[in-house]
Amino acid sequence: MFYQFAIIGTTASGKSDLAINVAQRLNAVILSLDSLCLYKEIDIASAKPKKDELELIRHFGIDLVSPDMEFCVGDFINEYNHALVYAKSQNIPLIITGGSGFYLKSMLSGLAPKIEPIKIEISDDEIWDLAMKIDREFCAKFSKNDKFRLRKWYQIYAQTSNIPSQWLRLNTGEPVIKNLTIFELVWDKFELIERIKIRTKNMLKNGLIDEAKDLFKRYNSALKPLNSIGLKETKEYLDGKIDIDELSNLITIHTTQLAKRQRTFNKSFNSIKIDGKNLNLDNFLAQISNSIN
């Protein structure tokens, strides 16, 4: 029977492993929400499912483009539609999982028109002061330190001469998904840090440095995916700026910071919390069944 649900969580929370285990039990397919797994050749740094896991469970959203190719939310929605058509044709469940909550939020909220990037000649503080004067709705939702959204806000304002929050309300398309049960895998923050440390050690053990070395030989190191956590620190190591211990420590610190941002972002979803430490697969499957029915 076709139905769909999402499993979200911070990096290193175990959501991908859980999704694979659930998919095996439900004969489901998986759509990856991970913004790094969609790139070919970035396997270890993205914690991409292993080859045997990809052969075991049909995945969408993985190995779609090369690191030097553009990929946007609209492209992701196209991939979602491919997964949706496949799952419906097979009459099987679709599991949406990963750490890039922005993709999921875009599908649930509707896609805004594309705004071309422009050169910004004022400071972030000046942008924030302007937003406080004309768009309190934006300021109530986002932090002054959220540079990405702050600059996106200014780009909309500069190119439309409208209050961005109002402009987005009027110009955002209909949601791609209107009803979706979302499960969030949660951990105590100290336990999560330990999981991140283990994950970092495993990435280095499994060949992160060699993977990074090959990527930097073949592609421009300024590319966005090559500046993701794990790769940007390894570039410093390869350039002789840090030693191996500093490499491991920096990846752990930056991953922990990412997890904190993801945890904050995930609060915007109306999700069912699942305790990662005490997770029982049979109980979780029962929760899925109850939420769908």
Task: Encode pLDDT of 83-124 as tens digits.
Answer: 999 999 999 999 999 988 889 998 998 888 878 888 999 999
Q: Tell me, yes or no, whether 38 and 122 share the same domain.
A: no
Enumerate residues 6+ apart whose C-beta is below 8 A from 288: 5, 22, 26, 181, 183
- Is 273 assigned a ligand-binding role in the annotation? no
- Residues 227, 229, 232: CA angle, nearest 5 degrees: 45
Amino acid at 19: A
Please name which of 185, 147, 149 lies closest in space to residue 19, comparing C-alpha atoms: 185
- Is 61 assigned a ligand-binding role in the annotation? no
Question: What CATH number corresponds to the domain at position 53?
Answer: 3.40.50.300
Q: Tell me, yes or no, whether 143 and 241 share the same domain.
A: no
* Residues 215, 217, 219, 225, Cα dihedral to 10°: 30
Q: Tell me, yes or no, whether 159 and 181 share the same domain.
A: no
Pairing assessment for the beta strands 272-275 and 59-60 based on DSSP bridges: unpaired
- Is 14 assigned a ligand-binding role in the annotation? yes
How many structural domains is the chain composed of? 2
Domain end residue (candidates: 171, 198, 216)? 171
Q: Tell me, yes or no, whether 197 and 98 share the same domain.
A: yes
Assess whether pLDDT exceeds 80 at residue 293: no
Mean of per-residue pLDDT scores for the chain: 94
Write out the residue range of the structural domain in which residue 186 sits.
Answer: 4-108+175-292
Q: Tell me, yes or no, whether 217 and 239 share the same domain.
A: yes
**Would you say 196 and 256 are in contact if contact means Cβ atoms under 8 Å apart?**
yes
Q: Tell me, yes or no, whether 15 and 82 share the same domain.
A: yes
Q: Tell me, yes or no, whether 209 and 276 share the same domain.
A: yes
- Is 256 assigned a ligand-binding role in the annotation? no
Q: Tell me, yes or no, whether 166 and 260 share the same domain.
A: no
Task: Encode pLDDT of 32-75 as tens digits.
Answer: 999 999 999 999 999 999 999 999 999 999 999 999 999 988 89
- Is 10 assigned a ligand-binding role in the annotation? yes
- The pLDDT of residue 183 is 97
Q: Tell me, yes or no, whether 213 and 137 share the same domain.
A: no
